[in-house]
Amino acid sequence: MSLNPPIRNWRGRRVWVVGASSGIGAAVAKLLLGAGARVALSARSAPSLEALASGFSGDNTLCLPLDATRPEALLRGMEDIRGHWGGLDLAIFCAGTYAPMRAWQLDGEKARAMVETNFMSVVHGVQAVIPGFLAQGSGGIVIISSVAGYRGLPNGLVYGSTKAALINLAENLYLDLAPKGIGVFLVNPGFVKTPLTDKNTFRMPALIGADEAATRIVSGIERGRFEIHFPRRFTALLKLARLLPYALYFRLARAATGL
């Protein structure tokens, strides 16, 4: 069911990808540039952004290196986009970090970094783009969360909490913004091969590549989906697991992960 206005054509559409230097963000940016969109690329690494942009027309790319955990940097980025293109049509928030962690490994500094990068960067980014979207009566916000936010999982201490927070944030944003003509898209991938998941030492069921993930995300946006989750053979099982009573879920989670 389409809960957002479908996107029929990317040509000339103004898109901002925050977290575009690698992984899902880079793959989504390439796919949209190939479809004719104008894409502003943001991440900490300027060389990575420039390398990505070098394969496409300079008129369609805008490199905006920044630290997404700093709200003033995102506000400046939005001003730069407005100055170059007159406004924005879609913001995609992909910035994220991951540190595998069990309860006996709890590290406050690593936890703070995940909260700042995974959650607060999206809050700051949404704050930067909402005024322009409200003024023009249109626009879209894409939040990359994870199925790790569905329920607690071993090794997901703090990381899973940030993803659960993003799911709740997206739901609240949709309730507020959809009546005002602004789309909100929640992306909950399963395991995607990226530099972050390369840290995992356990078997990752239904692992897919970043290019396939980008194709699924863009297709979901084009169809106006609110939640875009994939691969469905894996995410459907986790959705069912959300309905289980705790006693059964905890047993199954331990058995499935071996942790």
Per annotation, catalytic residue among 159, 174, 246, 249: 159
Beta bridge partners of 193: 209
What is the C-alpha separation between 221 and 243, in angstroms, rounded? 27
Burial of 170 (0-12, 13-18, 19+ CB in 10 A): buried
Please, are residues 230 and 190 in contact by the beta-carbon 8 Å criterion?
A: yes
Please, are residues 66 and 77 in contact by the beta-carbon 8 Å criterion?
A: yes
The CA distances from residue 110 to 71, 101, 147, 150, 154, in Å, are 20, 9, 21, 21, 17
Cβ within 8 Å of residue 131, ≥6 positions away: none
159 is catalytic: yes
What is the C-alpha separation between 34 and 96, in angstroms, rounded? 24
| 244 backbone dihedrals φ, ψ, rounded to 5° | -75, 150
Tokens of 114: 């995940």
Tokens of 224: 């106006």
Q: Kindly tell me the sign of the dihedral angle through the C-alpha atoms of 170, 198, 48, 46.
A: positive
List residues with catalytic annotation: 159
